[in-house]
């Protein structure tokens, strides 16, 4: 069953059940309360009649004003019988004990009896008392449900009718609300499903534009749109990646091929100089292949990290020492002032790879009077390692992409500097394989700062 039908059916079912429960309970309660009230009223009336008749009987010296009694009988639809202490009937509104004039007046009540059950004829006995002595008795005969008068019947019928009418209104309103609600829920969901299906069939440009104010549906729609954007980006990256790899591999291979062909055709001498060119291209090819493999280190090698406990300060100092001559050769300087020993668990070869990439990047992109500062900061459970330079910096619009494989800020510039666009992705992969994180800040023309956070994991914590 689809959501649309489910919502409507649930709504109607809920309304029907609630209305039935409300109708039944209110009907039963109102009927009972009302009947009790009428019954009590009838009893009060009978008690009053008894009291008045008792008083007449005494006032008239144990005789009766028969017209008065007849009046009570007619007005209240009851039979009245007065007996003396010897059980002799002194007066009765009945012609015979069970089938008298009184029954004739009671025709009105017999009619109601059709609707609320057939009433029984009952009698109620009251002692007539004078000076605390019994002087006779009064019997009031009536139909037991005669208290349900025309007015009462109309009242109860009106109650039932108004409950039924309001019930019907509630159902109609409930159906309208459920239609609007289910429409407002299912329509955007259908749009989202349609978009998801389009994405599934390869249309990565598909977007779901839903018109709703339901928070969860808006979130779902945004998630689907985010998904399609990500897939589309991934698709672009994949295509770009494939074309970059083939381009990067083709360039040194073409050079190698043309040189070797020329040598085979004896056009080119296999001299040291020419062989050196071939060697450079072969080196470039192997670096590219190594970089390619390393750029997937997180995905492929995170389980294979060779973690050993090292003093990271000492390791940093020795790496920086190897770079010092390279920097000085170009008139640049490199600074590291941290002294405290910090023992951390790390794959030291991978860590060297991180530093090689960062320090060779800075070296590559420094200007005149270039300077690199390496900083180390120790927190409770992590170290913060930062490499800052005052080099050419990176434009703000290029910055978000520097961790993408093969991204190079300026391709022609990188050709001359020998960059492959794999250095920072490799650094990021290694850092993340160590459960760390990396951030880059750069200002174009002023310099770049890269900060790496690595957890200090002790040997006994593994
Ligand atoms: P590459 O091997 O080409 O340097 P990277 O992934 O290491 O590739 O860097 C990506 C891009 O970021 C480079 O093309 C370079 O322009 C820029 N970049 C990286 N480090 C720096 C830096 N310290 N100063 C300026 N630009 C940098």
CA of 408 to the centre of ligand 1 (A): 7
Secondary structure of 278-312 in HEC code, one letter for each residue = HHHHHHHHHHHHHHHHHCCHHHHHHHHCCCEEEEH
pLDDT of residue 108: 42
| Cβ(64)–Cβ(91) below 8 Å | yes
In testing the pocket of ligand 1, which one of 297, 365, 399, 406 has its CB within 8 Å of the most ligand atoms? Answer: 365
427 lines ligand 1 (CB under 6 A): no
CA of 297 to the centre of ligand 1 (A): 19
**Average pLDDT of 250-268?**
85
294 lines ligand 1 (CB under 6 A): no
Of the candidate CATH numbers 3.30.420.10, 3.40.50.2300, 1.10.287.130, 3.40.50.300, the domain formed by 215-299 belongs to 1.10.287.130
Q: Hey, how many other C-beta atoms are within 10 angstroms of the C-beta on 66?
A: 12
CA of 393 to the centre of ligand 1 (A): 9
CA of 418 to the centre of ligand 1 (A): 11
pLDDT of residue 327: 92
109-135: pLDDT as tens digits: 444 444 666 678 888 899 988 888 888
Q: Which residues of 238-263 are buried (b: 16+ CB within 10 A; e: fewer)?
A: eeebeebeeebeeebeebbeebeeeb
The ligand 1 atom at the shortest distance from the C-alpha of residue 407 is 10
420 lines ligand 1 (CB under 6 A): yes
pLDDT-derived band of residue 38, with 50, 70 and 90 as boundaries? confident
CA of 314 to the centre of ligand 1 (A): 27
Nearest protein CA to atom 12 of ligand 1, as residue: 402
Q: In CATH terms, is domain 3-166 a member of 3.30.450?
A: yes
**Average pLDDT of 245-274?**
83
pLDDT of residue 114: 47
In testing the pocket of ligand 1, which one of 424, 426, 428 has its CB within 8 Å of the most ligand atoms? Answer: 424
CA of 320 to the centre of ligand 1 (A): 19
Average pLDDT, the chain: 83
pLDDT-derived band of residue 236, with 50, 70 and 90 as boundaries? confident
CA of 451 to the centre of ligand 1 (A): 15
220 has a pLDDT exceeding 90: yes
| Cα angle for residues 283, 287, 288 (degrees, 5° grid) | 115
**Average pLDDT of 335-343?**
87
406 lines ligand 1 (CB under 6 A): no
| Cα–Cα distance, 206 to 353 (Å, whole number) | 41
405 lines ligand 1 (CB under 6 A): no
pLDDT of residue 458: 64
387 lines ligand 1 (CB under 6 A): no
119 lines ligand 1 (CB under 6 A): no
365 lines ligand 1 (CB under 6 A): yes
194 has a pLDDT exceeding 90: yes
For the domain made up of 306-461, the CATH class stated in words is alpha beta
| Cα–Cα distance, 284 to 278 (Å, whole number) | 10
Domains 3-166 and 306-461 share a fold: no
Return the domain boundaries, the chain. Answer: 3-166, 215-299, 306-461
Q: Which residues of 282-304 are buried (b: 16+ CB within 10 A; e: fewer)?
A: eebbeebeebbebbebbeebeee
370 lines ligand 1 (CB under 6 A): no
CA of 448 to the centre of ligand 1 (A): 10
CA of 194 to the centre of ligand 1 (A): 42
349-392: pLDDT as tens digits: 889 889 989 998 999 899 888 999 999 999 889 999 999 999 99
404-450: pLDDT as tens digits: 877 878 755 554 555 678 889 889 988 988 999 999 999 999 999 99
Structure tokens at 397: 């619009």
**Average pLDDT of 51-59?**
84
73-82: pLDDT as tens digits: 888 888 889 8
């Amino acid at each position: 069953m689809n959501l649309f039908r489910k919502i409507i059916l649930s709504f109607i079912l809920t309304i029907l059940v609630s209305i039935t429960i409300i109708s039944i309970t209110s009907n039963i309660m109102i009927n009972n309360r009302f009947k009790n009230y009428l019954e009590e009223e009838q009893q009060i009336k009978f008690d009053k009649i008894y009291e008045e008749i008792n008083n007449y009987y005494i006032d008239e010296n144990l005789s009766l004003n028969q017209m008065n009694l007849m009046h009570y009988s007619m007005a209240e639809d009851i039979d009245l019988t007065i007996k003396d202490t010897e059980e002799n009937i002194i007066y009765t509104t009945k012609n015979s004990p069970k089938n008298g004039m009184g029954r004739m007046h009671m025709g009105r009540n017999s009619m109601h009896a059709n609707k609320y059950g057939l009433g029984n004829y009952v009698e109620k006995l009251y002692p007539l008392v004078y000076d605390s002595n019994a002087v006779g008795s009064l019997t009031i005969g009536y139909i037991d449900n005669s208290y349900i008068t025309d007015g009462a019947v109309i009242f109860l019928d009106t109650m039932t009718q108004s409950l039924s009418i309001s019930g019907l209104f509630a159902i109609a309103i409930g159906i309208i609300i459920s239609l609007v609600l289910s429409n407002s829920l299912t329509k955007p969901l259908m749009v989202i499903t349609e978009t998801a299906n389009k994405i599934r069939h390869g249309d990565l440009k598909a977007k779901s534009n839903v018109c709703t104010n339901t928070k969860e549906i808006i979130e779902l729609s945004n998630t689907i749109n985010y998904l399609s954007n990500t897939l589309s980006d991934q698709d672009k990256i994949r295509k770009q990646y494939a074309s970059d790899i083939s381009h990067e591999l083709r360039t040194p291979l073409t050079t190698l091929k043309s040189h070797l062909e020329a040598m085979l055709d004896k056009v080119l001498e296999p001299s040291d100089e020419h062989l050196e060119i071939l060697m450079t291209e072969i080196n470039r090819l192997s670096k590219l292949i190594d970089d390619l493999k390393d750029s997937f280190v997180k995905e492929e090698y995170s389980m294979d990290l060779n973690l050993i406990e090292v003093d990271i300060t000492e390791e940093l100092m020795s790496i920086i020492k190897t770079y010092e001559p390279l920097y000085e050769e170009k008139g640049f300087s490199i600074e590291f002032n941290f002294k405290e020993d910090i023992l951390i668990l790390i794959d030291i070869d991978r860590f060297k790879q991180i530093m090689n990439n960062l320090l060779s990047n800075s070296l590559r992109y420094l200007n005149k009077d270039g300077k690199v500062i390496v900083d180390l900061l120790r927190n409770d459970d992590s170290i913060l390692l930062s490499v800052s330079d005052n080099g050419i910096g990176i434009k703000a619009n290029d910055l978000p992409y520097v961790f993408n494989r093969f991204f190079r800020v300026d391709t022609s510039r990188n050709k001359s500097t020998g960059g492959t666009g794999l250095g920072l992705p490799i650094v990021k992969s290694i850092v993340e394989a160590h459960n760390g994180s990396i951030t880059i800040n750069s200002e174009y023309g002023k310099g770049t700062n890269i900060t790496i956070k690595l957890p200090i994991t002790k040997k006994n914590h593994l």
